[in-house]
Chain A
Amino acid sequence: MFESILFYTLAAFILGFGVLVVTARNTVHCVVFLVANFLCVAMIYVMLGAEFLAIIQVLVYAGGIVVLYLFVVMLVNLKRGPDAAPDRRRQSRVGFVLAAVMLAEISAILVYSAARPASAVAAAAATPLQTVGNTEVVGMLLYTDYLIPFEVASMLLLVAMIGAILLAKKEI
């Protein structure tokens, strides 16, 4: 019961902040709503038993990436937002409708799938949660099975850092 209340509340917040992010005029507001959104998502991760992921979400997303966004927003310091300009192609409406229809479709698929009994997924879900702590499991995986992808990711971040410096710098 509690779980349900929590889920719906969080879902409502997530979607609500998402809507705000998408629709807000002021970019700074957007960033703020995005932080809120990320925090709510972190809560969802907790609900899903992914505590490490939640921490990462808060630290990296809400703490790192969003700050980066804020920096950029402050740097560019637009006087007049691009959305003030007229939408010449009327594409936004198409995109909106398309997204809505797709959401409906996906929902339909999911609902239909949920209505189906005794799927493999449901069977797997029946098994109890592992005893090992979540962070430990993830750590084990990262440093054993997924060591190379992990290193690749670190490499990727390094390259991205260099690239970002190169791109952002006025003169090298």
Chain B
Amino acid sequence: MTPITPYHYLVLSAALFMLGVIGVMTRRNIIIIFMSIELMLNAVNINLAAFSQQLHNAVGQVFAIFVVAVAAAEAAIGLGIILAFYRNKETLNIDEMNILRW
């Protein structure tokens, strides 16, 4: 069994990212889509952490922390939007959010 290289982490990260993408693409519940986004952010963080360890540079972890902060902000705002949307439309179906056209 080969030792665990950064490539392993990267592949994991990519797989997790793609899971998030699939979630964003396939689900229509906005909350779940947001969760999928969180998955993707986590995949990014794994990536950053992996490179940080690989390069012996803590900057990657610093960025990961910023990502977490931004993710928190995003979650707060996004969930606020979801609540407002729900109050207007009585639904969480992303297909109903279609006034952004023409």
Chain A residues proximal to chain B, CB less than 8 Å: 1, 3-4, 7, 11, 14-15, 18-19, 21-22, 24, 27, 30-31, 34, 37-38, 41, 44-45, 47-50, 52-53, 56-57, 60-61, 64-65, 68-69, 71-73, 75-76, 78, 81-83, 85, 87-89, 91-92, 94-96, 98-100, 102-103, 106-107, 110-111, 113-114, 121, 124-125, 127-130, 134, 137-138, 141-142, 145-146, 149-150, 153-154, 156-157, 159-161, 163-168, 170
Contacts and interface: CB of A to CB of B under 8 A. Distances in A.
Contacts of A124: 54-56
A146 B55 CA distance: 18
Given A53-B49, A60-B72, A160-B72, A95 B22 contact: yes
Given A7-B12, A18-B16, A49-B53, 14 more contacts: A7-B4, A30-B35, A44-B9, A48-B53, A50-B49, A52-B65, A53-B49, A68-B76, A69-B31, A73-B31, A82-B29, A99-B25, A124-B56, A163-B80
Q: Secondary structure of the B side of the interface? A: helix
Contact of B27 (A47, A76, A83): A83
Nearest to B22: A99
B92 to A, nearest CB: 5
B85 to A, nearest CB: 9
Interface in B11-64: 11-12, 14-16, 18-32, 34-36, 38-39, 42, 45-46, 49-50, 52-56, 58-59, 61-62, 64
A141 B25 CA distance: 37
Given A34-B38, A82-B93, A163-B80, A19 B73 contact: no
Contacts of B66: 149-150, 153
Tell me which of A53, A92, A106 has the highest count of chain B C-beta atoms within 10 A of its own C-beta: A53
